[in-house]
Amino acid sequence: MYQLDAPTYWYFLLLIPLLWTGYVLVGIWKRRSQQHFAQPQMLEQLSPMRSRFKPLLKTLLLSLAFLMLIIALVNPKIGTELETVKREGVDIVFAMDVSKSMLAEDVAPNRLEKSKRLVSAILDQLTSDRVGIIAYAAQAVPQLPITTDYGAARLFLQGLNTEMLSSQGTAIDVALNLATTYFNDAEQTNRVVFLISDGEDHSEAGKAAAREAAAEGIKVFTFGVGSDAGGPIPIKRNGVIETYKKDPDGEVVITQRNMEVLTEIALETGGAYIDGNSTQEVVDFVAQTLKDMDKKEFDAKEFVSYKDQFQAFLFAGFLLFLIEIVVFETKTKWIARLNLFNESKK
């Protein structure tokens, strides 16, 4: 495991192509100036020990020296100890609706992207809670098991799309049934499911699944995305809308947010419904809700000891600078005799 102490110093890498650009331009200027001064044969007689290879070598050494010093400034650190640390938190499962209705653009940019940003904003506020992710439409599939790795959670979150499940629909019951299997810690007193959806589930199975979840000690909080007026479901190709989804009669389907379904499911478990269109309202609600909950202490393995690695790169950079200084642009006699770079006339 490694981490970078100051990654902004990577911008200094732009100095290296500038160095080579200067080398090329100076070389062109030198050749033109020498042509005005004397013919190439005369220059060879006037400066027989001039090396064509050494300027290139010096520029290469300078480039490597700059690279080593830049890496030293960035200061890569390597985790050397994996220790078990004690953390306190709540187990949270995000159940994400990825049905086609989530492509409706009645909230910008669309319901699914709004849901992703909502969850990302919640993750930014978490510190020690464990999280998991489920994607569902007419069926549910696990995406990320319970973990403290928020970086992995964001990675899986961005990968969610409406093409991941072939069967379409919004079966909230299958999402809740799968979510109950995520909480395998019998001692965890607070188990939370954040269900993000437009609520377009017209079956009674969702409420039944919510009652079963409540029996397992799970609270479900629902966040509704979309508008009450609704919107059509776009069908796109290469990011361009070609048409809209239509019913068997050829009429454009208008999908609406169903607050009633989401509210009933939340209340069955002692949770609450929140308008998911307001990111700040959701974030504030989640922060206060988790603050009021009892925290469970659990073990988490983390790299807790990182060692600086800049010393080796700093030494290498100064060594390369020293070598560049002692390398002159004239031929080295014993190398010239070997003619390694084909610089001597035969």
Ramachandran class of 339: left when φ > 0, alpha when ψ lies in -120 to 50, beta otherwise = left
- Classify the C-alpha dihedral 283-122-265-89 as positive or negative: negative
| pLDDT tens readout for residues 177-201 | 999 998 876 666 688 999 999 988 7
Residue 236 has a pLDDT of 84
Q: Identify whether residues 96 and 226 lie together within a single domain.
A: yes
Domain match, 199 and 100 both? yes
Instruction: Report residue 76: phi and psi, to 5°.
Output: -65, 140
pLDDT at 315 over 50: yes
| Overall pTM > 0.95 | no
CB 55 within 8 A of CB 331: no
Is the pLDDT assigned to residue 344 strictly greater than 60? no
Let me know whether 233 and 132 are in one domain. yes
In a domain, 190, yes or no: yes
Rounded average pLDDT over 107-132: 92
pLDDT > 90 in the chain, percent: 45
For 90, the token pair is 């709540």
- In this structure, the answer to whether residues 63 and 93 fall within a common structural domain is no
Average of per-residue pLDDT across 319-325: 88
Mean pLDDT to the nearest integer, 304-316:
81
Q: Are residues 200 and 171 part of one domain?
A: yes
CATH number of the domain within which 92 lies: 3.40.50.410
Count CA within 13 A, CB hemisphere, residue 159: 14
Contact 77, 309 (CB under 8 A): yes
Is residue 96 within 8 A of residue 140, CB to CB? The reply is no
What is the C-alpha to C-alpha distance for residues 27 and 313, in angstroms, rounded to an integer? 30
What distances in angstroms separate CA 219 from CA 91, 155, 209, one per listed residue? 11, 26, 12
Looking at the 3D structure of the chain, how many domains does it have? 2
**69 and 123 fall within a common domain:** no
Evaluate whether 94 touches 132 at the Cβ level (below 8 Å): yes
Q: What is the DSSP letter of 246?
A: B
If asked whether residues 177 and 222 sit together in one domain, one would say yes
Which of 8-22, 69-83, 322-336 is most confident? 8-22
Predicted confidence at residue 85, as pLDDT, reads 62
- Structure confidence at residue 149 as a pLDDT band (50, 70, 90): confident
Contact 130, 92 (CB under 8 A): yes
Which residue, among 343, 194, 184, 164, has the nearest Cα to 269 in the 3D structure? 194
Instruction: Kindly indicate the confidence band of residue 346, based on its pLDDT and cuts at 50, 70 and 90.
Output: very low
Who contacts 222 (Cβ-Cβ below 8 Å, separation ≥6)?
A: 195, 196, 197, 199, 262, 263, 265, 266, 271, 272, 273, 274
pLDDT at 57: 85
Report if residue 192 sits inside a domain: yes
Structure tokens at 61: 């050494």
Query: Average model confidence (pLDDT) for the chain?
Result: 84
Query: What does the pLDDT average to over 37-61?
Result: 72
In a domain, 133, yes or no: yes
Domain span at 174: 85-301
Which among 160, 167, 64 has a CA at the least distance from the CA of 118?
A: 160
Same domain flag for 166 and 228 = yes
Across the range 89-116, mean pLDDT stands at 92
Picking from 47-56, 130-139, 167-176, 195-204, which range would have the lowest pLDDT averaged per residue? 47-56
CA 144 to chain centre: 15
Give the SS3 label for residue 29. helix
* Cβ within 8 Å of residue 274, ≥6 positions away: 221, 222, 223, 224, 281, 282, 285
Residues 283 and 316 in one domain: no
Residues 103 and 143 in one domain: yes
Q: Are 99 and 236 contained in the same domain?
A: yes
Q: How far is CA 189 from the centre of its chain?
A: 31
More confident call, 53 vs 298: 53
